[in-house]
A and B are shown apart, each in its own frame.
Chain A
Amino acid sequence: MDPAAQALDQSFSGASDDFPALLRRRGLLAAVPTAGSVTANSAWVPTEATTILAFKFQGGVLVAGDRRATAGNTVVFDRADKVLEIDRHSIMAIAGVPATAWEMARVLEHSFQFFRRTQLQEMSVDGKVRALSKLLRDNFGFVLQGVGVVVPIFATYDSGADPSARLYFYDAMGAQFEVTDYAATGSGSPAVRGILFYENTWGKKPLLKLTEDEAVTVALRALDTAAESDTATGGVDRNAKIFPVIKIVCRDGITTLPEKRIAALFKRSVA
């Protein structure tokens, strides 16, 4: 039976299926490994070699990520984009195995659109947050096998009853945590978390009160600090002029900061 006919046969259940289920039905998404089929790899060391940070400021949520991709000790790519736009108001920033993370972002992006198109309404923010959680949970079999760990940050703008910017971080099993001020993930995150805590508590003003320029400055300084001790974080490459990816989520949508602007701010208040 051709795929189209299959979609229209007796077992057709379009509206109740979410997009990952549809992909599985078509054999386009790896089946979830069951507990029995997974043998924990004792030699496994979590590899989340990168630094991602996000915090709320005056103009919404700022999400920043360095550009380095590593495999063990080797730098494989110095222009990776780990801050991914999922829809007009949502960003997923990833630390972890790129193959799994990018695929996850793709599934997520299509899930939101598939929901809107089939159900004729936008998915709620809670629904979106949960969808990512479910993808992580489904992926955990692979994590246990030592491949495919992903630890993302999710930033979005909720234009519902109480319009506000929302920020979440996840663990590899899919637990989601909503944060009030900031979140960081990846191998460089301890340093970044220290800086953000310090800035927020004893800085000139709390993160939430920062202007856009000040927020970008804090993000650049934090990433550069992380790169100082963490080899897996690219920070700012002064020679090759490679700057982190910085995106801002607000009511009107997502803005990607142009490299020129980041470079100017870097020159003025970081370098």
Chain B
Amino acid sequence: MIEEPYRWVEAIANRAEYIETQLAAGSPIVAVGYRDGILFLTLGPARQKLFEIYDRIAMGAIGHPGDIERLRMAAIELASTEGFTRSAADVSLRRLAHYSLSPLLKTAFEQVYGAPYLARLLFAEIGAKQEGDLFLRLDYDGAIATNSASFGQTRQDFGVLSGTRQSTELMENFLRAEHSTGATFDRALKIALDAWTVGHLALGDGGVKELPARDKILAARKERLRGAGIEAALLERSDKIAIRYRALTEAEIRAPLGD
């Protein structure tokens, strides 16, 4: 039946719907650029969701752990072999995503007899200056969204990932309005947590459709923080050491918050 073009389109639509349903509950992930680096953050993970890919590249993911694992491993293998045969400077997120991971995801998604990847990935690559930071979201069908300037969109210093389109868009709206280039770490941390809270409030059928008021966000953030663990990691801009990725401890995150 798949031989008929219409059936194929239908099968693809079904599978997209299936994947969307599977991903819908995923806890949001926020990455914001600040003066001294890029901060990755998510809340309440039962398992690790933020990963080191290479010297200057980090990844956050939602979806099925098995699929995330296969994609993560592929990304690390590709980056490591490139870094070994050429140099660490030749490993670029743009190439990794555009030439390797995106085609792979698209192929798996469209071959309706095989299993697709139940995963959505957020990557960030730290630049020498903040203008060089790259944020890149890779969807299960291979679609890529980046922070670069394009027609009708100015350059952004952040990237987000969430279970639903609505949640993603609200988080982006929030960060566009609130996040500024050159923020300090403390400021970036608060903004990232607020963005996460916005994304979290927008999840599910009863989720908010508009940006909530500031005090509402703050109250929800405080409530969430009481019960949930925070997972956060940094890509540091300082070039003193080659490996820029560093996972933050819970104490390092809680101290500047004061709540």
Tell me the bound Cα distance from A117 to B76 in angstroms.
7
- A113 near B243: Cβ-Cβ < 8 Å: yes
Q: Which of A12, A22, A118 has the most CB of B within 10 A?
A: A118
Interfacial residues of chain A within 1-50, with CB under 8 A of chain B in the complex: 2-5, 7-8, 12, 14-15, 19, 22-23, 26, 28
* In the complex, per-residue mask of B68-86: 1 if CB is within 8 Å of any chain A CB, else 0: 0010011011101101110
- A5 near B80: Cβ-Cβ < 8 Å: no
B101 beta carbon closer than 8 Å to chain A:
yes
Contact of B74 among A7, A19, A28, A116 (CB under 8 A): A7
Q: How far is the CB of A88 from chain B (nearest CB, A)?
A: 7
Residues of A within 8 A of B70 (CB): 8, 12, 14
- B104 near A114: Cβ-Cβ < 8 Å: no
Interfacial residues of chain A within 104-155, with CB under 8 A of chain B in the complex: 106-107, 110, 113-114, 116-118, 120
How many A-B Cβ pairs are below 8 Å? 60
Q: How far is the CB of B211 from chain A (nearest CB, A)?
A: 36
Q: Which of A2, A12, A28, A117 has the most CB of B within 10 A?
A: A117
Q: Which residue of A has the minimal Cβ distance to B108?
A: A8
- A22 near B81: Cβ-Cβ < 8 Å: yes
Given contacts A4-B104, A117-B52, contact A22 B74 (CB under 8 A): no
- A5 near B104: Cβ-Cβ < 8 Å: yes
Q: 29 A-B contacts, Cβ less than 8 Å apart?
A: A2-B100, A2-B103, A3-B78, A3-B81, A4-B74, A4-B78, A4-B100, A4-B101, A4-B103, A4-B104, A7-B73, A7-B77, A8-B70, A14-B70, A14-B74, A14-B77, A15-B73, A22-B81, A23-B81, A88-B241, A107-B84, A110-B80, A113-B243, A114-B76, A114-B80, A117-B51, A117-B52, A118-B73, A118-B76
Residue count of chain A within 8 Å CB distance of chain B: 24
- A23 near B48: Cβ-Cβ < 8 Å: no
Residues of B within 8 A of A14 (CB): 70, 73-74, 76-77
Tell me the bound Cα distance from A114 to B78 in angstroms.
11
> Interface residues of B toward A: which range?
20 to 34
B193 beta carbon closer than 8 Å to chain A:
no
- B73 near A22: Cβ-Cβ < 8 Å: no
Residues of A within 8 A of B78 (CB): 3-4, 7
Q: How far is the CB of A160 from chain B (nearest CB, A)?
A: 19
Q: How far is the CB of A20 from chain B (nearest CB, A)?
A: 10
Residues of A within 8 A of B81 (CB): 3, 22-23, 26, 28
Tell me the bound Cα distance from A19 to B103 in angstroms.
25
Q: How far is the CB of A158 from chain B (nearest CB, A)?
A: 20
Q: Which residue of B has the minimal Cβ distance to A19?
A: B80
- B85 near A117: Cβ-Cβ < 8 Å: no
